[in-house]
Structure formats: structure tokens, C-alpha cells
């Protein structure tokens, strides 16, 4: 769906942006054990990717692509790469707040196909706890996989986790703690707390 359609209900913003490098590094994944870098919220293979995670204000989208494993059946696309405004693993469950993981491939490497699995507490409308879609990661320009709160039923607090895999190989895993909006007023108010259409 494109933003100029006459849909009065805000759209889900599972965000994917990617300009592929001319060569994919799928065959470059080591067969042996991989040295994973970890901190309190993330785990990733620093020999393959550089990551940045946190929150930013939701942006208008320029289109979407089918993603049948998601709650809305699609992921929306941005024109350009959003900047992470707040580098944090704690984000408010508030309208117009997005959070996610930016990646750049070491040496410009790109990886495909990559499965993103997002796990979260149950949505209050239908009990959804897991969403998946296939994308590309890395490349010279980088990519972002993120989530935006659009509907009250999805603004559930607790642990939300992005897990990127290629085959049986974990590329990254980042865990966010989603809290009530009043717990992080700087982010909640910084994004206006209003829905985007």
C-alpha cells in the first residue's frame, strides 16, 4: 500500500530499507564457530555486521512489500534511512514511536535472504506474539528493521526481540524493554504521541 491511498487507519510500519551492494556475501559466512559480540541488550557477529539500535519518531512511508508472516501482512518502506535518535534498549509503548536495529555489512557485505523474527507480548486484539519476514541486511548504505506503534492493541509492554537469521546462523539478536509511555516522557513527547496516517 502507498501512503497516498485513502485509508483513514494508520498503517503498520514494519520498516525495511535496503540498497543492495552489488555482491552478496552469503557464501562468506564462516562454517566454524562465530565470535559474537554481546552487551546487555544485543548479540551480533561483529565480523559480519555493525549494528546500532534504539528509538526514533515514526516516518511517512513510500510503499510496502508483502510480508505474510506479519500481523498486517506487509512491511512498509521508507524513502531514506531513518536516524536513531535515542540509543537505548528501553522504549515507550506510545503512538508515533519507532524502534529497531540498523545494520551495515563489514566491508560493504550484504546478506540475503535474512529472516527477521520479532517476538513480543501478546497483542490485545488477537494474541499475536511472533511476526516474521524475509529481507536483506548490510550493504554499503546499510539497512534498518524496525517497528512503529500504530494501534492501541499493539502497545503492549514487556520484552520485544528482533532476531535476524540466515539459514541457521544468527546475525543479530536485539532485545528491547517496552515500558508505559509515562516512564519515558522525553521519547513519548519527542515524537508527539500522535498517530501518523
What are 65-87's pLDDT values in tens digits? 999 999 999 999 988 899 999 99
Q: Which three cell numbers stand for residue 181?
A: 509511555
Q: Would residue 22 count as lying in a domain?
A: yes
Q: Would residue 155 count as lying in a domain?
A: yes
Domain of residue 21, CATH code: 2.60.40.2390
What is the reported pLDDT for 78?
Answer: 84
Q: Would residue 31 count as lying in a domain?
A: yes
What are 143-166's pLDDT values in tens digits? 999 999 989 999 999 999 999 999
Residue 156 gets which letter from DSSP?
Answer: -
For the question of whether the overall pTM of this predicted structure is more than 0.85, the answer is no
What is the reported pLDDT for 197?
Answer: 33
Do 168 and 149 touch, CB atoms closer than 8 A?
A: no
What are 117-140's pLDDT values in tens digits? 999 999 999 999 999 999 999 888
Return the ∠ at Cα 179 (arms to 37 and 13), rounded to 5°: 75
Do 106 and 48 touch, CB atoms closer than 8 A?
A: yes
Residue 195 has pLDDT above 90, yes or no: no
Q: Would residue 27 count as lying in a domain?
A: yes
| Count of domains forming the chain | 1
Give the chain's mean pLDDT. 82
Give the pairing of strands 169-179 and 90-92. Answer: parallel
Residue 60 has pLDDT above 80, yes or no: yes
Q: Would residue 163 count as lying in a domain?
A: yes
Instruction: Tell which wins on pLDDT, 53 or 9.
Output: 53
Query: Which residue range is the domain that position 41 belongs to?
Result: 15-190
Q: Would residue 9 count as lying in a domain?
A: no
What are 33-51's pLDDT values in tens digits? 445 565 778 999 899 999 9
Q: Would residue 92 count as lying in a domain?
A: yes
Residue 19 has pLDDT above 50, yes or no: no
Amino acid at each position: 500500500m502507498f501512503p497516498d491511498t485513502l485509508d483513514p487507519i494508520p498503517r503498520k510500519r514494519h520498516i525495511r530499507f535496503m540498497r543492495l551492494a552489488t555482491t552478496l556475501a552469503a557464501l562468506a559466512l564462516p562454517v566454524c564457530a562465530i565470535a559474537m559480540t554481546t552487551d546487555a541488550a544485543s548479540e551480533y557477529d561483529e565480523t559480519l555486521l555493525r549494528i546500532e539500535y534504539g528509538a526514533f519518531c515514526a516516518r511517512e512511508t513510500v510503499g510496502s512489500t508483502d510480508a505474510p508472516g506479519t500481523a498486517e501482512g506487509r512491511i512498509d518502506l521508507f524513502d531514506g534511512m531513518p536516524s536513531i535518535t535515542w540509543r537505548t534498549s528501553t522504549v515507550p509503548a506510545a503512538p508515533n514511536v519507532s524502534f529497531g536495529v540498523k545494520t551495515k555489512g563489514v566491508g560493504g557485505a550484504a546478506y540475503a535472504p535474512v529472516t527477521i523474527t520479532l517476538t513480543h507480548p501478546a497483542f490485545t486484539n488477537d494474541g499475536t506474539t511472533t511476526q516474521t519476514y524475509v529481507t536483506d541486511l548490510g550493504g554499503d548504505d546499510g539497512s534498518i528493521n524496525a517497528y512503529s506503534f500504530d494501534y492501541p492493541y499493539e502497545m503492549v509492554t514487556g520484552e520485544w526481540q528482533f532476531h535476524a537469521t540466515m539459514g541457521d546462523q544468527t546475525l543479530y539478536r536485539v532485545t528491547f524493554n517496552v515500558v508505559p509511555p509515562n516512564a519515558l516522557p522525553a521519547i513519548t513527547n519527542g515524537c508527539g504521541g500522535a498517530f501518523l496516517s
